[in-house]
Amino acid sequence: MKLSIITVNLNNKAGLAKTVKSVVQQSFRDYELIVIDGGSTDGSQDIIRQHEKDIAYWVSEKDKGTYHAMNKGIAVARGEYCYFLNSGDYLVNDTLFDDLFKMDIHADIVSGNVLKIRNNGKHRTIRPHDKPTLHKLCIHSLPHQASLIRRELFDEIGMYNESFRIVSDFEFFLKAIVVFKKTYQKVDISFSYFNLNGISSNPSHFPLAKQESLICLKNNFPDMADDLVEYRYFYVSNIGQLIRLLQQKEKLYAFIDKTVGEIFKLKKFIVGK
């Protein structure tokens, strides 16, 4: 089997229905759908039962959080690759996986684009790194909603760290690519629409995300952790994002960089006087 699609859900009946529908309508059939429900009380099980013939495995019981639920899905997955599409997220079209596997898919981790849905209903395309490095992954990780992960990597590297609520996928990609040197492939194809209602997108959880990021980096890169976490959160700040946008406009960035340099020279000259 080529692909295990793992969907985690908790009390998101409408979102689960949209997610499952986008999967079962795929023209590609060499997959299994695994649904891990955290004991929902909103009728989510009704959606699961409606599609029971399309679902290879499902369970509805209390769990210890999102990453525990994802690990439960990995434990029963039989596909060559695992793909995580949580409830509320949905695939871009009905031919996605046929289109994807017509390409030369060969790496341990394969990442494409994810479409983040804004509150106004419009979306923004988030593209993965061409060549992810430690510093690039600290700026932004790979989107699990647009990444295939070879199943055997979880046996070799370990599953998601259940002590974290937000950054376990960030830690896994860091370990897989930077520490274990697993192969990576970028594909120019959009996988899914990603809803911004999750815990990692909620501004009130940013302090927790920063705290977990520091712990994660200290666990894996102890000598660099403090600098890396500051680097990570500078680049996701407003000024950091502005710099990244300016860098895409090379001539404008060069002009501003030169102008700022001249200003600092002038300041030094004045202070020196």
- Domains, the chain, in order of start with CATH, read 3-201 (3.90.550.10)
Residue type, 79: G
96 has pLDDT over 60: yes
Rg (CA), the chain: 21
When pLDDT is averaged across residues 153-158 and rounded to a whole number, the result is 98
Where residue 117 falls among pLDDT bands split at 50, 70, 90? confident
Average pLDDT in the 57-69 region? 97
- For 218-271, write each residue's pLDDT tens digit: 898 888 878 887 766 666 555 555 655 556 666 655 665 666 566 656 655 666
Band (120; pLDDT cuts 50, 70, 90): confident
Mean pLDDT along residues 127-151: 92
3-state secondary structure string across the chain: CCEEEEEEECCCHHHHHHHHHHHHCCCCCCEEEEEEECCCCCCHHHHHHHCHHHCCEEEECCCCCHHHHHHHHHHHCCCCEEEECCCCCEECCCCHHHHHHCCCCCCCEEEEEEEEECCCCCEEEECCCCCCCHHHHHHCCCCHHHEEEECHHHHHHCCCCCCCCCCHHHHHHHHHHHHCCCCEEEEEEEEEEEECCCHHHCHHHHHHHHHHHHHHHHHHCCCCHHHHHHHHHHHCCHHHHHHHHHHHCHHHHHHHHHHHHHHHHHHHHHHHC
Lowest-pLDDT range of 28-42, 49-63, 118-132, 139-153: 118-132
- Report how far apart the first and last C-alpha atoms of the chain are (Å, whole number): 74
The model's pLDDT over 1-57, given as tens digits with 9 standing for 90+, comes to 999 999 999 999 999 999 999 999 999 999 999 999 999 999 999 999 999 999 999
Of the candidates 80, 82, 22, 85, the one whose C-alpha atom is nearest the C-alpha of residue 54 is 22
Residue 147 has pLDDT above 90, yes or no: yes
Task: Find all residues with CB under 8 Å of 12, minimum gap 6, and list them.
Answer: 40, 42, 44, 87, 88
For residue range 201-223, list pLDDT tens digits in order.
Answer: 555 677 898 889 889 988 988 88
Of 102, 69, 73, nearest to 187 (Cα)? Answer: 102
pLDDT bin (cut points 50, 70, 90) of residue 83 is very high
pLDDT of residue 171: 96
Percent of the chain past pLDDT 70, that is, above it, reads 81
pLDDT at position 272, please?
59
Q: Pairing between strand 90-91 and 123-126?
A: unpaired
| Percent of the chain with pLDDT strictly greater than 90 | 66
| Dihedral sign (CA 241, 66, 6, 73) | positive
Lowest mean pLDDT among 18-22, 121-125, 141-145: 121-125
